[in-house]
Amino acid sequence: MDETPLVMTPIEEVAPLVDGARAVFEAGRTRPLEWRLRTIERLRDLVVDHTADLVDALQADLGKCEAETMLSEIAVVVSEADHALAHLPDWVRPTRVPTPAAAQPGSSRLVHQPLGVACVIAPWNYPVNLSLGPVVGAIAAGNAVVVKPSELAPVSAAALGRLIVALDDPAITLVQGGVAETTELLAQRFDHILYTGGPQVARVVMRAAAEHLTPVTLELGGKSPAIVTGTAKIDQAARRLAWGKFVNAGQTCIAPDYVLVERGVHDALVAAMVAYVEEFYGADPEQSPDYARIVSDAHFHRLEKLLGSGTVAVGGQADPDERYIAPTVLTDVGLDEPVMDEEIFGPILPVLAIDSIEDAIAVVNGRDKPLALYVFSGEDEEVDRVVDATSSGGVTVNATLFHVANAALPFGGVGESGMGAYHGRFGFETFSHRRSVFERSTLVDLSLMYPPYTESKMKILRRALDLGDPRFALARIKQRLLRRR
C-alpha cells in the first residue's frame, strides 16, 4: 500500500493559522446567511469534483473500494450539505417564544449565534465523512473552522488538504500533522472542539479544552452490541450483520462489536453469516476487490492477537504484508476473553449464545454505554424491552449502521461513547449559541415594579398572586389534575 509521506504543518505556523481564522470571524465575514450557503455549496461541489482523487486516496490508505467510498464518504458529505442548504434559512430564523404576564408588555425570542472558531479533529477510518461532515455544521452555524485530519490516513489527509486549498476561503483552514502538531493545535483557544476518536485521546482533548473553558463534542465508540432474538428473520439478520460488520474491514465506530443471540437460533445465525461472508467476498476475501485493509501495522498486530479467542467459524487468516485480516466470525467466546475486553475496531465478530432477552440486556448494561445498539426481532414488544432497558448513543432495529444515515436524527454517544451530537440541524445547534433576547415595550412603564413598595402596591401584588386570580387558579387546577394521574 501507498506510504506517501504527509507534509506536516510547521509547528510555528499553527497558532498564526488559528489567529487568522479568528480574524476572519471577528471581521464578520462568516455571519451572513449568503456566505454560509455559498460556502457549503462550494464545499459540496468540490467534494463531487474531487471524487476521483478521494477514491484513490482511500484506496491507498485503507484499500477501500470505490463503492464503499462513494456510499460511506462522498454521498454522506453531499447529503449533509444538501440538507443544510435546504433547511438553513429556516434554522437561522429567530424563534418567538411566549412571554409571561409578569414581563408584559414585551416579547421574547431565541436567536442562534455562531460561536466563533471551531476545531474539527477527525479520525482515519472515514477521513472524508468525519472531517467534512462536521465542517458543514460549523459553517452552517456561521463559524470559521480549523480542520485536523488524521495522519494515520496520510494520502486522504493530503487529498483533503488539496480540497481545502481549492475552497480558497480564509475562514476554512487545515492543519496537518501528528501528536506534536495536534498538541500545539489544542493549546490554541477555540470556541468549540469536535473530536472523533477514542476515549484515551478524548480525555487529552477535554483537558486541553478546559484551559480555555471550551465546550467539546466527543464522538467515541465502544463495544456496540447486536441482540438477535428467536423471533428475528435469521437469514436477513445474518446478511445485515455481516455487511455492517465487515464494511471498511470492520473499522467503523458503530460497527456491531459482538452479537448476543438466543441459543435456539445461534447455529442458524452463524451458518448464515458464514455463507454471506463468502457471498460478499468470495472463497478467498483477500482477493476480493471489495474488501478493505487494516490501516496500520500497529492496528494489524493488535487485531491479530484477538483471533486467539473462541472458535473460528469463518476467517481467521492474517497477512501482515498486506495488513489483511479475513472477515472472521468467532463462536464459543467467553465474556472475559480479550476479544470481549476492548472495542475490536476490525473484522472480527464474536457471536455469543444467551438464554433470554433479559440475559442480553444484563450483558449490555454490565458494560460502558456504547455508541450504537442493534436489535433484530420480529416482535415490537421485544424491541421495546431492549430499547427501554438499555442506553446507547443510537439504535437501529433490524438493520445496522442506518441510524447515522438520517440527517434528521442526531449522531452522538453517551457516557464512555461520547458527549454531544451533530448531523443536520443538530450540527447547526452544536456549533451555535442559542441566545435569549427579551424586548420590553416602551409604550408603558408600570410603577408597580419600582420602589418604594407601598402598601397599595403590595395589595395589588398579593391580589395578583392569590388563588382568586383566574390565571393562577387555572394553573393550580391543572397541577392538581396532573398529580392525580
User: What digits encode the pLDDT tens for the residues 409-449?
Assistant: 999 999 999 999 999 999 999 999 999 999 999 998 888 88
Give mean pLDDT, residues 317-336. 97
Q: Please check the confidence at residue 230 and state whether its pLDDT lies above 90.
A: yes
Q: Is the pLDDT of residue 467 over 50?
A: no
Identified catalytic residue from 73, 80, 219, 262: 219
Sheet containing strand 258-262, strands side by side: 311-314, 328-331, 348-354, 258-262, 225-228, 372-376, 394-397
Distance CA 289, CA 307 (A): 23
Q: C-alpha distances in angstroms, 142 versus 33, 136, 202, 383, 430?
A: 8, 10, 25, 40, 12
Q: Is the pLDDT of residue 479 over 80?
A: no
Q: Left if phi > 0, otherwise alpha if psi is -120 to 50, otherwise beta: which for 423?
A: left
- HEC string of 116-133? CEEEEECCCCCCCHHHHH
pLDDT for position 113: 97
- CB crowding 199-224: b at 16 or more within 10 Å, else e: bebbeebeebbeeeebbbbbbbbbbb
What pLDDT is attached to residue 207? 97
Which of 3.40.50.300, 3.40.50.720, 3.40.605.10, 3.30.830.10 would CATH assign to domain 11-220+423-434?
Answer: 3.40.605.10
Q: Give catalytic status of residue 219 as yes or no.
A: yes
pLDDT, position 1: 44
Among 197, 173, 66, 166, which Cα is nearest to 118's? 173
Distance from C-alpha of 340 to C-alpha of 399, rounded to nearest angstrom? 22
Same fold for the pair 11-220+423-434 and 225-411 = no
pLDDT beyond 70 at 468: no
**Cis omega before residue 105 (within 30°)?**
yes
pLDDT of amino acid 448 = 84
Q: Which three cell numbers stand for residue 343?
A: 472495542
At 378 the pLDDT is: 97
Whether the per-residue pLDDT at 111 is higher than 60: the answer is: yes
3-class DSSP state of 193: strand
Rounded Cα distance between 70 and 438, Å, is 47
How far apart are alpha carbons 150 and 219 in whole angstroms? Answer: 15
State how far the alpha carbon of 61 is from the alpha carbons of 3, 87, 134, 182, 472, in Å: 8, 35, 21, 20, 66
pLDDT tier for residue 469 given thresholds of 50, 70 and 90 = low
Domain 225-411, what fold?
Aldehyde Dehydrogenase; Chain A, domain 2 (3.40.309)
Reading the block at residue 201, the C-alpha cell is: 485521546
Q: What is the CA radius of gyration of the chain?
A: 27
Which of 65, 80, 181, 253 is an active site residue? 253
Instruction: Report yes or no: 304 and 318 within 8 Å, Cβ to Cβ.
Output: yes
First to last CA, the chain: 65
Mean pLDDT within 295-309: 96
352-369 burial string, b = 16+ CB within 10 Å, else e? Answer: bbbeebebbbebbeeeeb
Torsions phi, psi of 340, nearest 5? -100, 5
Span 169-185, pLDDT tens digits: 999 999 999 999 999 99
Q: Quote the crossing angle between the two packed helices 357-365 and 380-389, to the nearest 10°.
A: 20
Per-residue pLDDT of 267-285, as tens digits, reads 999 999 999 999 999 999 9
Please tell me the predicted confidence (pLDDT) of residue 449.
83
State the Cα angle at 19 between 13 and 24, rounded to 5°: 125
What would the grid cell of residue 120 be?
Answer: 474539527
Show me where the domains of the chain are located.
11-220+423-434, 225-411, 450-484
**226: how many CB neighbours lie within 10 A of its CB?**
26
> Which three cell numbers, joined as nine digits, stand for 406?
438520517
Bond from prior residue into 452 cis (ω within 30 degrees of 0): yes
